[in-house]
């Protein structure tokens, strides 16, 4: 990731999530915040998020599983804990994409169809 302050939207989503699910999760999470500069998710989910990143002309950060498990989260989803070893894939991806200087500015928000979650972190990558 490039240097300088960034705002990352991290995503977690179910296999059935649509482009509309992802867009609505981002809209709910980003409300009232500055525009995001990057999108992030787990590496295995990145191909499904790539079309949204391309449509929004944003860089996509694919985060490996170990980094996801090590990232702090402020919320705890039993499903995310079981599947990913983290309280929130969305929060962990946003925080991990930035690294140690990350600050969560919006905990995970869930899309109206409940298929996608998005969280926003801000910081300067090291």
CATH number of the domain residue 107 falls in: 3.30.420.180
Dist. CA 89–CA 82, nearest whole Å: 11
| Residue 67 located in a structural domain | yes
pLDDT of 40 strictly over 60: yes
| Residue 1 located in a structural domain | no
pLDDT of 126 strictly over 80: no
- Give the tens place of pLDDT for each residue, 44-59: 999 999 999 999 999 9
Q: Domain residues for 76?
A: 6-123
With H, G, I as helix, E, B as strand and everything else as coil, classify residue 75: coil
The pLDDT, as a whole number, for residue 78 is 87
Name the domain count of the chain.
1
pLDDT of 13 strictly over 60: yes
- Give the tens place of pLDDT for each residue, 77-108: 888 888 898 989 999 999 999 999 899 999 99
Tokens for 17? Answer: 């999530």
């Amino acid at each position: 990731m490039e240097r300088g302050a960034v705002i990352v939207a991290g995503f977690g989503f179910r296999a059935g999530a649509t482009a509309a699910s992802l867009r609505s999760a981002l809209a709910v999470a980003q409300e009232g915040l500055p525009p995001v500069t990057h999108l992030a998710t787990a590496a295995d989910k990145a191909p499904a998020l790539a079309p949204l990143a391309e449509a929004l002309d944003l860089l996509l950060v694919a985060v490996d599983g170990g980094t996801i498990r090590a990232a702090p989260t402020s919320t705890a989803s039993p499903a995310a804990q079981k599947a990913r070893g983290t309280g929130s894939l969305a929060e962990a991806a946003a925080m991990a994409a930035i690294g140690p200087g990350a600050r969560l500015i919006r905990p995970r928000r869930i899309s109206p169809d409940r298929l996608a979650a998005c969280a926003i972190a801000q910081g300067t990558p090291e």
